[in-house]
Amino acid sequence: MKKSLLLLTLLSLLFTSCFNSVFYNITQDVPPEKATVSGIINSIARYTIEDQEFLVLAADGGIRYKSATTEKRSEWYTYKNLPFELHHFDYSASEHQGEYIIKILSDDSYIYILSTTYYQNDDLQLSCPDIVSIYSKKISLNEDGLWNEEGEWNKVISGKDYFKFSIEDDYVYSDFNVFSTNSVQKAHRKAFIRLGNTESYTKEYRTPKYFELKGDSYSEYTPEELSGEKAEKNFDSVVYFDGKYMFINSVASITDETFTEEAKYIYYGVHKTLKYYSVADGVKTAIENCGSPISCLTPCSNALLIGRADFSDDIDYTTGGIIKTSLTDGGVPGSKLEDFTTNAHIQLSESYYILCLLNAIPGKPELESTFYASVAFIGAGSNSTAGVNYDNIGLWSYYPSRGNWNRE
């Protein structure tokens, strides 16, 4: 009798434990909505036209844009006036045609397209990027509030003399980068080019130079490192902070700037480590190990959302996912990870790369904010039991009115 009671007690505990973890996750998992924005999305740019804020990205169909304030999934519009035909493979001619949009960037006045053509590398048996270009355009609004399709794009810089690639062990590596502040406040937005790579497999490409994009032109720029020192490093991101443009040797950096307040903190990732910076305290470590390399960040008033993606050459599955830590009232990040009360960890699981994150209107608490995240995966996804779905590749969003993360 005692054994039977003990067994029933253990079974009850096991079932309760199962309910708390597995069944709670099931309740958080919501049916996926039909995607309105799909494809590999490497950036979400903020762009202002006549005091109206827009979000802009490259996805299926080319350039897509919507008002930053709307919570309607259906209000993504396609900007059809492109300076080239979109990339496709002509099977009859056995060749690549058109250009692929790598990412969209912006400054205080212009939209920029970073694009590339492709060629078939017979030695590697791969389709490889070939001629990289940057185009610029200042866009105006029609009376109906949609983007004016008239006017030509300007080709700012293009060609193999500038944008170099190195090939090593059947991998193609870019020896350049193009990035922007993507600041919340329009006046703080700038875009930059890095040509060269200190870690390039090609020796002559190992001295990087930096340039500021200035609409239809560009000029050489001397970057200022976060610590205030100038050094030839692979800066991969930049933020506007304390009246200066601070360059950071990280793909993931952002400030706590809002539309009405200047930034007090810079947040950035160094591989798996989350760091932050303030004028008073300098560089501090918040979380030593976030599990996987940090790929992107976006803050709200009470939390910092952290995207992860491990692009290591020796990994043939996806390791990523979204996590978060708390932010104090002053903006200091917590020293440990916090659980989501939404379904973020279910929909944006470690089976997916998180390529970019954006809070449309920063300054509100997490559950009152509108977030966007782009996801992708390689191979069969994660090495865990979590499944992946090609239909999930693209843009995801959280709206306060909806109360959960789902396909955009």
Question: With 0-12 CB in 10 A as exposed, 13-18 as middle and 19+ as buried, what is 125?
Answer: exposed
| Three-class DSSP category at 23 | helix
The confidence score (pLDDT) of residue 382 equals 52
* pLDDT value of residue 319: 84
Asked if residue 293 lies in contact with residue 271, where contact means CB atoms within 8 angstroms, the answer is yes
* pLDDT mean by block of 10 residues, the chain; 408 residues: 35 37 47 92 98 96 96 94 96 95 98 97 90 98 97 98 91 94 98 95 93 98 82 88 96 98 97 96 96 97 97 74 94 98 95 96 97 88 64 96 96
pTM of the model: 0.90
Residue 135 has a CB neighbour count (10 Å cut-off) of 23
Query: What single string gives the DSSP state of each residue in 186-219?
Result: GGG--EEEEE--TT-SSGGG-S-EEEEEETTEEE
Q: Where are the beta strands (DSSP E) in 233-293?
A: 237-241, 244-248, 253-255, 266-270, 273-278, 282-287
Concatenated DSSP letters of 84-128: SPBPEEETTTTEEESBEEEEEEE-SS-EEEEEEEEEEETTTTEEE
The pLDDT value recorded for residue 312 is: 81
pLDDT at 124: 84
